[in-house]
Amino acid sequence: MPIEQRRRSPIGIELVKRGIVTQNDIERALEYQRINPTKKIGDILHSLDVCDQNTLIEAIGDIVGEKGIILRYADITINITEYISLDVAKQNKAIPFEISGGKVKVCFADTANKRAMETVRLLLLNKGLVMERYITYESNIDAILKSFEGQATENITISRDVTTLVDSIIKTGMEKRASDIHIEPMENEVRVRYRIDGELLTVATVEKDKQAQIIGRLKAISNMHQEKQEAQDGRIVLYPDYNIRVSSQKNIFGEKFVLRLLKKNASIRQIFELGFPEDDKLVQKSFNKRNSISIIAAPTGEGKTTTLYSIIDFLNNPNVNITTIEDPVEIRILGLNQIEIDAKTTFSDSLRTVLRQDPDIILVGEIRDFETAEIAMQSGQTGHYVLSTIHTIDAIEVITRLRKLGISNYDIASTLASTVSQRLVRKLCPKCKKERDYTEEEKNIINSIGNKYNIDFQFEGKKTYDAVGCKFCNHIGYYERIGIFEVLTLEDNVKQLIVNNASSIEIRNEALRQGYQPLVIDGIHKVINGTTNLEEINRKLLIY
């Protein structure tokens, strides 16, 4: 428990003085401790069940100057992995469980462990939160953390048969909606993590002695070379509903594998389902069909390809020839000519060939270099409509990125029709989200953003929600993701600024005058309508 060796006797004496336990109880506990020296006296008394458990922990907390509680699942009103990872929680025996007024309550198994407390305190401080300490039994902490870890792994079969084990890990990942499975050799074990709705969750650990067999099985079903230990790429085609891309990379403890799970017959979601502003005129204006290019911009993993597919689905009809160039083809769409590039071809090579195939609309998976950017621009100038993606932080910076790739200001201004930037935020679980009033701090944040961009957010009298966690959402508090968007359509004034080599700041200011709204505006709207919360928007955009 929370007592160092040097403090065991005084605490025992104090507990006897207060009439919580008897001297005989303490002697029994000390006898047990001689055999199990790492056990704290409080945990031993708890396991011996010598008195009321609540009374005992409250008394121990009072003796060591902390608030003693028995932490129950219902007391945890936040998603702990939003604040510290499960690995950190397990290592430091700590669980954050409630936030109020900028303070986060954290329950520890050992408040005498200054290093653990300082580690957690600094992590929370980096999120702008002050830590309020509580203390409980170590077994209490362990049980709760095990239940959190187990929610995603209840179907994983830890089997002697490695074939069954690997199959169980993959199938459970599919059931839990994982986009990626990480199988990672550690020093003393093999860790399994799932990425669910963009977040990595530790779901299982496997004995170290199974590592070689697991690696062998993964290589066999991925069609990789068994003998090679350098980085390899492969595919798993054993599961009829999925294409699984596999990547291996050697680390200091072995070979790590990442499996990307791609549904073969995934349905295309309509553009408005993704979270795009429900404005038909904006969609029509943003995605022209001739003599131009539209670019989706976002960091890796923020759903650019999904948005491209939804736009293509919106534009698709029997009267147009749509060709896509992708790496890889993630979703097959009826009526499209889809090309997958390989090691021998590039986007620019494929694009040259496609231009001889009489296309109306061309989707280029990504603009990575000058050559691809130049041909894409030329395609847009010669009667085609081109859709592509690029890695930038927002819609305005697409212009800067194209300039850096070597595209002239004239070509950008004459050909670029629109840029869209996006982020994926997690949606609050509809089964367990907890309604409450906005705090004054939250009201101030929303109002300050509204004042900055001259937006009147109508949220007075409305409620917001906290993420809680239930079985439906794997006790995460969030279920699935939705996009927040910003759209820049290039009007004449903006085009003239580009031709004049204006800075991105000047272009942004003019765009704002013309009605451009940055990502945070759409994010706040989705907070106000109850889809997500300010914590999630801040996690992606750092608004406070």
pLDDT along the chain (544 residues), means of 10: 43 88 88 83 86 90 91 81 80 90 90 88 86 92 74 56 90 92 94 91 89 94 90 91 93 96 81 88 84 94 91 89 87 85 84 91 93 93 94 96 97 96 95 92 95 93 89 85 96 96 96 96 96 93 89
Looking at the fold, whether 170 and 319 belong to one and the same domain comes out as: no
Any domain includes 11: yes
**Whole-number pLDDT of residue 157:** 58
Closest of 63, 80, 87 to residue 8, by C-alpha: 63
Query: For residue 190, what pLDDT is reported?
Result: 93
The CATH number linked to 180 is 3.30.450.90
Do 394 and 504 reside in the same domain of the chain?
Answer: yes
**Is there a single domain that holds both residue 495 and residue 347?**
yes
Peptide bond preceding 10 in cis form (omega within 30 of 0): no
CATH number of residue 371's parent domain:
3.40.50.300
Task: Write the CATH number for 34.
Answer: 3.30.300.160
Together in a domain, 391 and 369: yes
Residue with tokens 């309604």: 435
Same domain assignment for residues 113 and 36: yes
Position 228 scores a pLDDT of 85
- Check: CB of residue 42 under 8 Å from CB of residue 148: no
pLDDT at position 31 is 86
Quick one: 101 and 212 in the same domain? no
- Give the model's pLDDT for residue 36: 79
C-alpha closest to that of 534 among 479, 484, 480: 484
What the block records as the tokens of 482 is 């939705």
Whole-number Å distance between alpha carbons of 535 and 7: 40
Domain boundary among 206, 233, 263: 263
User: Is 249 in the same domain as 102?
Assistant: no
Domain boundary among 146, 170, 200: 146
End-to-end CA distance of the chain: 37
CA distances from 331 to 105, 162, 233, 310, 339 (A): 45, 31, 20, 11, 12
Shared-domain flag, residues 140 and 166:
no
489: containing domain: 280-424+481-519
Using the 3D structure, point to which of 113, 146, 179 is the last residue of a domain: 146
| Domain annotation covers residue 113 | yes
The DSSP-derived string for 239-272 is: STTEEEEEEEEEETTEEEEEEEEEETTPPPPPTT
Judge if 330 and 242 occupy the same domain.
Answer: no
Same domain, yes or no: 254 and 204: yes
Q: Is residue 133 part of a domain?
A: yes
> Which whole-number Å values give the CA distances from 405 to 154, 326, 378, in the listed order?
49, 20, 15
If asked whether residues 99 and 178 sit together in one domain, one would say no
Does residue 100 fall inside a structural domain? yes
Name the 3-class secondary structure at 1. Answer: coil
Q: Does a structural domain hold residue 435?
A: no
Q: Please check whether residue 498 lies inside any domain of the structure.
A: yes
Contacts 24+ apart (CB under 8 A), 398-402: 398/295, 398/297, 398/488, 399/498, 399/504, 399/507, 400/504, 401/297, 402/373
Closest CA to 431 of 475, 481, 476, 470: 470
Distance, in Å, from the CA atom of 382 to the CA atom of 52, rounded to the nearest integer, reads 81
Say what the pLDDT of residue 153 is. 53
pTM comes to 0.71
- 497 in any annotated domain: yes
Examine the domain organization and report whether 287 and 253 are in the same domain: no
Residue 94 lies in a domain: yes
Instruction: Please report the sign of the dihedral spanned by the C-alpha atoms of residue 379, residue 382, residue 387, residue 389.
Output: positive
What does the pLDDT read at residue 180? 96
Note the pLDDT of residue 52: 86
The domain total for the chain is 3
